A and B are shown apart, each in its own frame.
Chain A
Amino acid sequence: MAQIRLDNLRHSYMRAPKSDADWALKRLDVVWDDGGAYALLGPSGCGKSTLLNIISGLVRPSEGRVLFGDTDVTDLPPDRRNIAQVFQFPVIYDTMTVHDNLAFPLRNRGVEARHVETRVGEIASMLELTDLLDRRAAGLTPDLKQKLSLGRGLVRDDVNVIMFDEPLTVIDPHLKWRLRSKLKELHYNVRVTMIYVTHDQTEALTFADRVVVMEEGEVVQIGTPVELFERPQHTFVGHFIGSPGMNVLPCEVRDGAAFVGGERITTEGPAKAPAGANRLEVGVRPEHVQIANEGVPAEVVNVADAGRYRVVDARIGDIRINALMSENDTIAAGPTRLSIDPAHTRLYADGWLVDTRQGTEP
């Protein structure tokens, strides 16, 4: 096991990339500590799969290095990197039993038969597959197949990192919860570095200690789930994380405050537009917008029931804003007022966060 370092990485699938758009992966410098749980989060086509393939060795980066510990593995093929991967669609060896599937990576490496048996037994009980060891793998349900392919990674002692490529795609929602917490539990017990690639914010945030958010080949923010939620560095992160995502409201800045549709909105510190900014926006999560007796006048358009809360769809002028409300509260369509929590209201210039907190100069 080792620390993983992506050093000045860049990748393009074209032979001679010219413009910015030709790079599938823009310059990237990341260090992942040994034993951590990480997630790569982003919409499809954001470059997260490219990055995953670079780490596993299926794709060689155009520029930069991949280091496992002190070893430069940039040019090593996947089988010499000591990695394991769980794919989007379960990959199992159909003709083998569950037992032989688990033993396969060890037998290929010439591990002594007795040790193979011990390891297979350990991993099977860890994954709750012990009763199924003699079954043919082909007949398993998708969630068991995914567990089995994970088992093939866990069974080896030499694994540097286990990578997950949207592993819950084919799993039913109610089993997703179980498998996800199982993964978390496994990580807690075995402490192997795990990298989890997904487009699903809930999966990323619940699994990982640190999340890398990507968009269009670029890392937009790296942070803990709380940081990503509380202080998105970019409106994309705000929008992408949270359900519904952060309200991003176009605004003007004057007199140290932001004005949305002519209404004054107080930000966390005195709002000040950076010089040369083209696009100014206020970002506030629906969680921090409340229906209130006083505050910004708005018009309620619709209320959607999400079970444990309700999503209020409202307008300030003609600018759309979402607010959350408890499942026991009701409100009719029509005029109302919104209280927007200044401590959680951020200012963004050209998409990027403007730090307006007192004492910290941008």
Chain B
Amino acid sequence: MSGKTDNQRAWFLVLPVVLLVAFNALVPLMTVVNYSVQETFGNNIFFWHGVGWFQDLLRSERFHAALGRQLLFTFTILLIEVPLGVAIALCMPKKGIWVSVCLVLMALPLLVPWNVVGAMWNIFALPDIGLLGWSLNTLGFEYNMTQQPLSAWITLVVMDVWHWTSLVALLAYAGLIAIPEAYYQAAKIDGAKAWAVFRYIQLPKLGRVLTIALLLRFMDSFMIYTEPFVLTGGGPGNATTLLSIDLVKIALGQFDLGPAAAMSIIYFLITLAICWVFYTLMTRNEAR
């Protein structure tokens, strides 16, 4: 912002934020970096361990498995939520009283606290007394989320889709209503069918919002913790132990501070790297 007028006093106004970010992000991050290169046997005595934890971790099958599950989960829900969200947005009314009704209904899941979502779905899906579990079993499907990995996975994905598709839908809806009416009129005149209208008008005009939606949903789902923890606790077995759950198990369950710190850093770097790749891929089109 070299062209903007200088007003040095403005710095005082951002100072609280700078301090907050420092305490909030930098200090913990440096602490984690510090732990990640040391070994401790308690009593606050630390030994230098170099990159040992990192090497161990990158070779660890447990980490690979957790990362794999995390990626599978994230890409599954992205594949479902983004197209579904756009589809819902396309179906929503453009004017009239139904607009507000739809918007409120769509916003509802977003307002539910995350642990409540987990608890709700846990009870909802209990095979014996939960409405969902009981109905499925009555209908003849073998469904037991606490024992079958597949059932647990499906429940987890459905829960996330229920919770977060609205966000994508609302963002896409905002993008859609911003398209000037003239584009639709021109398309009609050009004889474009509904699919062509979507492909050549709506989708290109949604590009920017969808980039944001995709990034938000990627970051959130990649770091998801509360909901699966409340729903399945990572089970059955390790079937739904995502990266974050595994991390907490190592750090707080086993109190292995060094490996947990190394894992946190790798986790952070992976998230950052994938975000960056997403972002560059999706904005490259615009720049061209």
Check if A85 sits within 8 Å of B186, measured CB to CB: yes
Binds A, one of B50-58, B196-204, B237-245: B196-204
Evaluate contact between B189 and A56: CB separation under 8 angstroms: yes
Which chain B residue shows the least CB distance to A153? B189
Give the docked Cα–Cα distance between A78 and B183 (Å): 13
With a 10 A CB-CB cut-off, give which of B182, B189, B191, B204 has the most chain A CB atoms.
B189
> Interface residues of A toward B: which range?
20 to 34
B188 at the A interface (CB under 8 A): yes
Partner of A105, one of B183, B191, B193, B204: B191
- Residues of B whose CB lies within 8 Å of any CB of A are 180, 182-183, 185-186, 188-193, 196, 200-201, 204-205, 288
Stretch binding the partner chain, chosen from A87-95, A121-129, A178-186: A87-95
Provide the main secondary structure of the chain B interface. helix
The answer, yes or no, to whether A278 is at the interface (CB within 8 Å) is no
Partner of B185, one of A85, A109, A152: A85
Annotate A88-117 by CB proximity to B: 1 below 8 A, 0 otherwise: 110101111000000011001100000000
Instruction: Report the minimum CB–CB distance from B233 to chain A (whole Å).
Output: 46
Q: Kindly name the residue among A93, A96, A136, A153 whose own CB sees the greatest number of chain B CB atoms within 10 A.
A: A93
| Given A87-B186, A149-B186, A95:B204 Cβ within 8 A | yes
A253 to B216, CA, bound (A): 77
In the complex, the answer to whether B200 meets A79 with C-beta atoms within 8 Å is no
Q: Contact check, A79 vs B186: say whether CB atoms are below 8 A apart.
A: no
List 15 additional A-B contacts (Cβ < 8 Å) besides A89-B182, A104-B200, A152-B186.
A56-B189, A79-B189, A85-B189, A87-B185, A91-B180, A91-B183, A94-B204, A95-B204, A96-B200, A104-B196, A105-B190, A105-B191, A108-B191, A108-B192, A153-B189
Q: What are 5 A-B contacts defined by CB distance under 8 Å?
A: A85-B185, A105-B189, A108-B190, A108-B191, A109-B191
B190 touches A88 (CB 8 A): no
Say if the beta carbon of A58 comes within 8 Å of chain B.
Answer: yes
A87 in complex: contacting residue of B182, B193, B288, CB < 8 Å: B182
**Contacts A58-B185, A87-B182, A87-B185 given: A104-B204 contact, CB under 8 Å?**
no
Q: What are the 9 A-B residue pairs with the smallest beta carbon separation, nearest first?
A: A108-B191, A91-B186, A105-B190, A87-B182, A95-B204, A93-B200, A78-B188, A79-B188, A94-B204
Q: How far is the CB of B126 from chain A (nearest CB, A)?
A: 48
A94 to B205, CA, bound (A): 9
The answer to the question of A83 belonging to the interface, with a C-beta cut-off of 8 Å to chain B, is yes
Given that A89-B180, A95-B204, A96-B200 are known contacts, is A77 also in contact with B188, CB under 8 Å in the complex?
A: yes
Residues of B within 8 A of A94 (CB): 204-205
A84 at the interface (CB under 8 A from B): yes
Residues of chain B lying within 8 A (CB to CB) of residue A87: 182, 185-186
Q: Roughly how many angstroms separate A57 CA and B192 CA in the complex, as a whole number?
A: 16
Which residue of B has the minimal Cβ distance to A139? B288
**Assembly CA distance A89 to B201 (angstroms):** 15
A contacts with B: majority SS:
mixed
Residues of A within 8 A of B (CB): 56, 58, 77-79, 83-85, 87-89, 91, 93-96, 104-105, 108-109, 136, 149, 152-153
Determine the chain A residues whose CB is within 8 A of the CB of B183 once the complex forms. 91
Q: Enumerate chain A residues within 8 angstroms of B188, measured Cβ to Cβ.
A: 77-79
Chain A residues closer than 8 Å to B189, beta-carbon distance: 56, 78-79, 83-85, 105, 153
Name the CB-closest residue of B to A110: B191
CB-based contact A152/B204 at 8 Å: no
**Which residue of chain B lies nearest to A165 when distances are taken between CB atoms in the complex?**
B182
Q: Closest approach, in angstroms, between the C-beta of A96 and any C-beta of chain B?
A: 7
Closest CB of chain B to A120's CB: distance in Å?
Answer: 14
Beta-carbon contact of B190 and A104 below 8 Å: yes
**Are A108 and B193 in contact, CB atoms less than 8 angstroms apart?**
yes
Name the A residues within 8 Å of B185 (CB-CB): 56, 58, 78, 85, 87, 91
Contact yes or no, B196 A108, CB < 8 A: yes
The smallest C-beta distance from A166 to any residue of chain B, in angstroms, reads 12
A356–B200 CA distance with the chains assembled, in angstroms: 60
**Shortest beta-carbon distance, B75 to chain A, in Å?**
25
A83 to B191, CA, bound (A): 10
